Chain A
Amino acid sequence: MSGATLMAAPGPARRAKVAAIPGFGLTFGITLAWLGTIVVIPLAALALRPWELGLFGLIDSLSDARVLASLRLSFGAALLAALVDLPLGLALAWAVVRMNWPGRRLLDALVDMPFALPTAVAGIALTALFAPNGWVGAPLAQLFGWSVAFTPAGVAVALMFVGLPFIVRTVEPVMRDLAKDAEEAAATLGATRSQTLRRVVLPALAPALLTGFGLAFARAVGEYGSVIFIAGNMPMVSEIAPLLIVIRLEQFDFAGAAAVGLAMLSLSFGILLLLNLAQRRLRRSRR
């Protein structure tokens, strides 16, 4: 922001303003070039490629029942996973920030594991765990008759796994900043613990929670590696959209693959835009 005003200010005023980071023009240029090479051009290619099919071909390619089912699964499972991750991530962040127990540091490190682990490894591990004869899958199947692996539920579980750290890590610094005295002030004013949580703590965390939700969701929509092992990949049932793209690519249907990609891109963009707008509303009144 200060950079923009710096550029705009003519004459002597320009010299009067001192920015901490020098060379605005140069860095701005590099940034734009970089952004263009790795973001804009590939995205533009993705946006242009499907039109080779023509408008009707594109519609036709996308209205395939298998494509629709996979999009529904990808976005539905991602949304569900992000929603489940929300309270889970909040609790984890709380444990890392506020609790004072010996295993805190270990937990802190463990939270980041999904970032570091190759997603295929995570997928195989989750599959082994949730398979009908796995450590978690077997009891679930016996007690409730639920099967997780090789069903849409398995997709959601894998997406929860990859999305969780995003929520923990976005909420954590805000929670750390959350002055304890605001909670104490609420107590001296007569608020019960649940009133304090509902009216003081959660509203303060809301923007961070929303950001974390958006990140977890975005990551989950694009997730491929961990999902394909646990999903079973049955067309119409447990086949995610990114897998369908790979399948079309393998069949040399490049335009068709790009069409699914374009659909995912537009949907994700729309949803993230909405989340951003919601966040702006939340933040508008705050620091």
Chain B
Amino acid sequence: MTVEVQGIVRRFGGMAALDGVSLEVAAGEFVALLGPSGSGKTTLLRVLAGLEGSDAGRVRIAGRDMTGVPARERRIGVVFQHYALFRHMTVFDNIAFGLSVRPRRERPTRAETARRVRELLELVQIPDLENRYPHQISGGQRQRVALARALAIEPRLLLLDEPFGALDALVRRDVRRWVRDLHDRLGLATILVTHDQEEAMEMADRIAVMERGRIVQCDTPTALLRDPATAFVAGFVGGATRLTCNVRSGVAHFDPLPLPPVRVSLPDGEAQAFLRPSDILARRGASGAATVRLVREDAHGRPALVVAAGDTLLDATGEFLGRGDACRLTLRSGVVFGAGGARAELAPLQAAVAG
């Protein structure tokens, strides 16, 4: 089931919530729309679902132009941010809703509906809850009900609008994996809207990063981390610290921060460097340069340090130092964006530093 979005524009008043968005999603693919609030990701989802019109561009699903097709005829499963369960209906009736509103000739018999609902309850692993009302079950269970309700119409495409936001962190991890697994088993195309980059990285085959109504980059999670296309993407994914530096004849200077100058092939002028914790190495060194503020061990047993360099706190790695130790910082990699969006990798000035 392919989804093709071509040049969608959606304006609210004078503001363009979507400003020429194009995206393709293949059958069986899991794509995440990632961006800060107000970047247009939910609007795009609503346009796909048919809940919002578009001012230009078009959406094709399985080759069919969806312009003017109302939401109820699209057969797209939507899980809303707050689940939007029908509060006056039992879990059973909520899930059966999509079947029971079909035109009479297509409506399954009562027994058939019941069988399907029980199947879905099994699938989402809440077989005992059919007679409960939404307010009698937990957030995680509600989400499962919302998912089962969306799946009941046998959708060709599943849209998830920040579906994990209301769950507590522990449940969220499990549910994410479980939803991804469900996606794989059912062979749907799924589009997930989220502002949580970790969630997008963990779940999606590809991530479309959105900024002010545009998709600035759409790529696999690893590619996004390795080759961020713009400063915005570099800043939004991977937990990098943004530092301003000055490029003079191919060398970036971080003054007044106690970071060594690095080689970078960018024209002279101000530039933005994005440094991940693994890009910055802290070693025991002369006092006065930088101070270790926090020492932890990351999941792989490597040191994770927070280093104060002047007024700036940097995440760094390197060796296990004590809190309050003075240290010397070196850069071993990182991405720098110059004026006009030119991108370059930084390289250590002296090859001897990297150890």
Q: Determine if B133 and A286 form an interchain contact, defined as CB atoms under 8 angstroms apart.
A: yes
Which B-chain residue is minimally distant from A193 (CB atoms)? B72
Q: Determine if A181 and B82 form an interchain contact, defined as CB atoms under 8 angstroms apart.
A: yes
Quick check: is A191 within 8 A (CB to CB) of the other chain?
A: yes
Q: Determine if A188 and B101 form an interchain contact, defined as CB atoms under 8 angstroms apart.
A: no
A188-B49, A285-B133 as given contacts; A195 in contact with B101, CB under 8 Å: yes
Quick check: is A133 within 8 A (CB to CB) of the other chain?
A: no
Which A-chain residue is minimally distant from B77 (CB atoms)? A188
How many residues from B make CB contacts under 8 Å with A? 32
Residues of B with C-beta under 8 A to A46:
none
Which B-chain residue is minimally distant from A180 (CB atoms)? B84
Q: Determine if B84 and A187 form an interchain contact, defined as CB atoms under 8 angstroms apart.
A: no
Quick check: is B302 within 8 A (CB to CB) of the other chain?
A: no
Q: Determine if A188 and B87 form an interchain contact, defined as CB atoms under 8 angstroms apart.
A: no
A189-B98, A191-B72, A286-B135 as given contacts; A184 in contact with B51, CB under 8 Å: yes
Q: Determine if A184 and B88 form an interchain contact, defined as CB atoms under 8 angstroms apart.
A: no
Q: Determine if B71 and A188 form an interchain contact, defined as CB atoms under 8 angstroms apart.
A: yes
- Complex CA gap A287/B85 in Å reads 13
Interface string of A185-213 (1 = CB under 8 A from B): 11111111001000110011010000000
Q: Determine if B88 and A285 form an interchain contact, defined as CB atoms under 8 angstroms apart.
A: yes
Residues of A with C-beta under 8 A to B97:
186, 189, 191, 199
Residues of A with C-beta under 8 A to B89:
203
Quick check: is B296 within 8 A (CB to CB) of the other chain?
A: no
Quick check: is A179 within 8 A (CB to CB) of the other chain?
A: yes
Q: Determine if A204 and B77 form an interchain contact, defined as CB atoms under 8 angstroms apart.
A: no
- Complex CA gap A182/B94 in Å reads 11
The dominant DSSP class at the A interface is: helix
Give B77-103 interface residues, CB cut-off 8 Å to A. 77-78, 80-82, 84-90, 97-98, 101-102
- Complex CA gap A206/B87 in Å reads 12
The dominant DSSP class at the B interface is: loop
Q: How far is the CB of A209 from chain B (nearest CB, A)?
A: 13
Contact of B98 (CB < 8 Å), options: A179, A190, A192, A203: A190
A190-B153, A199-B101, A286-B135 as given contacts; A184 in contact with B70, CB under 8 Å: no
Which A-chain residue is minimally distant from B76 (CB atoms)? A188
Which A-chain residue is minimally distant from B52 (CB atoms)? A184
Which B-chain residue is minimally distant from A181 (CB atoms)? B84
Give B126-162 interface residues, CB cut-off 8 Å to A. 133, 135, 149-150, 152-153
Interface string of B331-351 (1 = CB under 8 A from A): 000000000000000000000
Residues of A with C-beta under 8 A to B150:
188-189
Q: How far is the CB of B77 from chain A (nearest CB, A)?
A: 7
Q: Determine if B78 and A204 form an interchain contact, defined as CB atoms under 8 angstroms apart.
A: no
- Complex CA gap A206/B102 in Å reads 24
Which A-chain residue is minimally distant from B133 (CB atoms)? A285
Residues of A with C-beta under 8 A to B73:
190
Q: Determine if A200 and B86 form an interchain contact, defined as CB atoms under 8 angstroms apart.
A: yes
How many residues from A make CB contacts under 8 Å with B? 21
Which B-chain residue is minimally distant from A205 (CB atoms)? B88
Q: Determine if A188 and B78 form an interchain contact, defined as CB atoms under 8 angstroms apart.
A: yes
Q: Determine if A179 and B49 form an interchain contact, defined as CB atoms under 8 angstroms apart.
A: no
Contact of A287 (CB < 8 Å), options: B76, B86, B87: B87
Q: Determine if B72 and A190 form an interchain contact, defined as CB atoms under 8 angstroms apart.
A: yes
Q: How far is the CB of A278 from chain B (nearest CB, A)?
A: 15
Q: Determine if A185 and B78 form an interchain contact, defined as CB atoms under 8 angstroms apart.
A: yes
- Complex CA gap A204/B101 in Å reads 18
Give A198-237 interface residues, CB cut-off 8 Å to B. 199-200, 203-204, 206
Quick check: is B242 within 8 A (CB to CB) of the other chain?
A: no
Give B247-280 interface residues, CB cut-off 8 Å to A. none
Q: Determine if B51 and A286 form an interchain contact, defined as CB atoms under 8 angstroms apart.
A: no
Residues of B with C-beta under 8 A to A191:
72, 97, 101
Q: Determine if B135 and A185 form an interchain contact, defined as CB atoms under 8 angstroms apart.
A: no
Residues of A with C-beta under 8 A to B153:
189-190
Give B32-88 interface residues, CB cut-off 8 Å to A. 49-51, 70-78, 80-82, 84-88
Can you show 14 pairs from A to B with CB atoms below 8 A apart?
A: A179-B84, A181-B81, A182-B87, A185-B78, A185-B80, A186-B97, A187-B51, A188-B71, A190-B72, A190-B98, A195-B101, A204-B87, A286-B135, A287-B87
Q: Which residues of B contact A (CB under 8 A)?
A: 49-51, 70-78, 80-82, 84-90, 97-98, 101-102, 133, 135, 149-150, 152-153
Please provide the 6 A-B residue pairs with the shortest distance between their CB atoms, ordered closest to farther: A189-B98, A181-B84, A185-B84, A191-B101, A187-B71, A188-B78
